[in-house]
Amino acid sequence: MFSEFLHLSYVTQALLATIFTWSVTALGAAIVFAFRKINKNIMDAMLGFSAGVMIAASFFSLLSPAIDMAETLNMCSWLVAFIGFFTGGVLLFLGDKIFDKVLNKSNKNSLKRSLMLIFSITLHNIPEGLAVGVAFGSLAYGIPGATLTSAIMLAIGIGLQNFPEGTAVAVPLLREGFSRKKAFFYGQLSGIVEPISGVIGALLVIKIRTILPFFLAFAAGAMIYVVVQELIPESQTNAKKDLMALFTMIGFSLMMILDLALG
């Protein structure tokens, strides 16, 4: 099956990879069919591990190749890297601000807060899908650091951190009186934008090569923002902070090894 995956177009690979990340979101939302809560230690360990994978992927698979390709295209590499990286982070920052502003206006209605949680997670899933799409689309140019292994690992890292996101949407809706089926439906729906944005990202970088360095850096910035703003702080709420930090180190090390040794 993997050999068949290798022979698919980069856009199709991106589509399948982001369908995987979406399916993990759905898996997280499916928790409502089993129990209302998932073991906190397991969830925090997953978040810490995902943070490590995404930090390594942001540099080795996205930012470093962006700099190398910008230089190859005779572009100002540091400026392209800065603009792309910062824009990726700012987009998610603005999304969070919009969410906070609307949430403050509806703080007396917990149902509205739950619906805004769906909106917030859906919003930041867009650049995550773009990141996966860009990673696969960049394979078309054979640039150093942009490998199938790194693209797959990036998708796995994003998929892992999507699991608790699906749970985070579905469980509050269940508490608000939604049926388990409806809570699951809206929970998985927050991840539907990833296959769409993944295909768009892959198509754009394949069709317009000059925007690839910017898009790679953009994806790196979006990933780092998610890691710093969400994954690490949440994992560090665990009583065993040192162990959660170790899982982050394990995730980073695994991604680094796969990218450098096998990529």
| 3 or 17, greater pLDDT | 17
pLDDT of 49: 82
Q: What residues contact 141, with CB distance under 8 A and at least 6 apart? A: 69, 209, 212
- pLDDT of 260 higher than 60: yes
Please give the share of the chain, as a percent, with pLDDT higher than 70: 84
Q: Which residues of 57-81 are buried (b: 16+ CB within 10 A; e: fewer)?
A: bbbbbbbbbbbbbbeeeebebeebb
d(CA 158, CA 54): 7
Closest by CA to 17, choosing from 167, 143, 130, 115, is 130
- pLDDT of 58 higher than 60: yes
The domain ranges of the chain are 51-262
pLDDT of 81: 93
| 252 or 173, greater pLDDT | 252
| 102 or 186, greater pLDDT | 186
Q: What is the mean pLDDT of the chain?
A: 80
Amino acid at 180: R
pLDDT of 127: 73
Closest by CA to 247, choosing from 59, 108, 44, 90, is 44
Give residue-wise pLDDT tens across range 128-183. 788 888 888 888 877 666 778 888 888 888 887 788 778 777 876 776 678 888 88
pLDDT of 18: 93
Q: What is the CA radius of gyration of the chain?
A: 18
- pLDDT of 263 higher than 60: no
| 7 or 192, greater pLDDT | 192
Give residue-wise pLDDT tens across range 93-131. 887 777 666 656 555 455 655 666 676 677 667 777 888
Highest mean pLDDT among 4-18, 116-130, 205-219: 4-18
- pLDDT of 86 higher than 90: yes
d(CA 165, CA 220): 20
Q: Is the pTM of this model over 0.75?
A: no
Among 24-28, 76-80, 99-103, 130-134, the range scoring the smallest mean pLDDT is 99-103
| 105 or 199, greater pLDDT | 199
